[in-house]
Amino acid sequence: MKTYFAQLEQAMAQTSSFDGQTAKIIHLTNAHGMTASFMDIGATWLSCTLPIEGQRREVLLRSPTMAEHMKQDAYFGAVVGRFANRIAKGQFAVDGKRYQVGINNGDNSLHGGVEGFDKKRWTVVERSANQVVFALHSQDGDQGYPGNLDVKVTYTLTDANELSIAYEAHTDQTCPVNLTNHAYFNLAGEASGAKSLDHMLQLNADYYLPTDAGLIPTGEQKPVLGTSFDFMQPKRIGEEFLTEPDQQTAGGYDHAFVFKPEVTDGISAAAVLIAPKEDVTMTVLTTKPAIQFYSGNFLAGTPGASKTYQLYDGLALETQYFPDGPNKPEWGLNNGVLSSGDCYQHQTVYQFEF
């Protein structure tokens, strides 16, 4: 374990990050020999290892060095915000006032804009053997967003082999807030050569959000029933891959799936991911209304820990509010907008069985 941690530190904390200082790396361990490592840059979940058959299996994708981490646009393991996924043309209105935030993905704003929360240095405010708490102050006007926003993210590794992520935020002006973690999973192992498409997935979601060519939801909530987006029962991801125009537009799966409201209580299984050889199962429990299931369609050529990644070398399951929510008044749930005085509070748990 010690050697593994030392290698990780060597890779990510030898050279300086965005602000000229080196990253702070934090390791958590549990009673079963599972580990989870994090860094203060982006409050990033860097590594997750499971002890399987006497080996340490890394199930997260990441960059090989800090220098590469700073260049990638995969958002490996980072907390993304203020607004996860896309806002069309980076424009929205709150309280009758229009705002323009940074454009960094075609015509649109992605994951909080040019210098999103993934690129900021968070403060470690608390830590123990199984928990670390990161905080970030995002000042009024940061990336064009209104209000001073204070964010707290708590990662806990439990002895039930769960990695829990609790999110909290407050603002002094009404502002869109949609936080998630952008970890990429490969339950066969980061270096295994297995693909996202070889995994089995179940999503307790009966609607998905089709998108336009820029990956902005069209506004329609489409029933999954009878389509390749139906993951109500566990299905191999590759089984109906790219079979329909809604997938072809996105180069695969890169869509928000709307959970059945009854599974968003934080204790029900909202999503289940099963390793190709069925030796690892990851269950996702969450209080968030949707999940962006992204099959790794833009990974090709991105330097990774064990190799240069190719298409579909990992997949992301990002629990969140709907992309472009602030521009879709018909969707409800405050459209992903946090009022001043209210508290944004959510939790997502990734539970591993192996």
Positions marked active-site = 182, 318
Determine contact, residues 201/233, Cβ cutoff 8 Å: no
Which one of residues 200, 316, 317, 337 is an interface residue with ligand GLA (CB under 6 A)? 316
Q: Does 18 bind ligand GLA (CB under 6 A)?
A: no
CB of 110 to ligand GLA, least distance (A): 6
Residues between 237 and 266 with contacts to ligand GLA, criterion CB under 6 A? 254
CB of 181 to ligand GLA, least distance (A): 11
- Helix and strand totals (H; E) in the chain: 3, 27
Q: Does 322 bind ligand GLA (CB under 6 A)?
A: no
Task: Please provide the DSSP assignment of 161-192 as one string.
Answer: SEEEEEEEEEESS-EE-B-EE--EE-TT-TTS
Q: Does 41 bind ligand GLA (CB under 6 A)?
A: no
CB of 318 to ligand GLA, least distance (A): 6
Q: Does 294 bind ligand GLA (CB under 6 A)?
A: yes
Structural element, H or E, at residue 3? helix 2-13
Determine contact, residues 334/167, Cβ cutoff 8 Å: no
> CA-to-CA distance for 279 and 172, rounded, in angstroms?
47
Residues between 157 and 216 with contacts to ligand GLA, criterion CB under 6 A? 215
Q: Does 218 bind ligand GLA (CB under 6 A)?
A: no
Q: Does 74 bind ligand GLA (CB under 6 A)?
A: yes
Which one of residues 101, 110, 200, 290 is an interface residue with ligand GLA (CB under 6 A)? 110
CB of 92 to ligand GLA, least distance (A): 18
> CA-to-CA distance for 165 and 190, rounded, in angstroms?
21
Residue at shortest CB range from ligand GLA: 294
Tokens 């309280």, located at residue: 95
How far CA 38 is from CA of 112, 261, 281, in Å, comes to 20, 31, 22
Q: Does 85 bind ligand GLA (CB under 6 A)?
A: yes
DSSP state of 289: S
Binding-site ranges for ligand GLA (CB under 6 A)? 73-75, 85, 110, 215, 254, 292, 294, 298, 316, 318
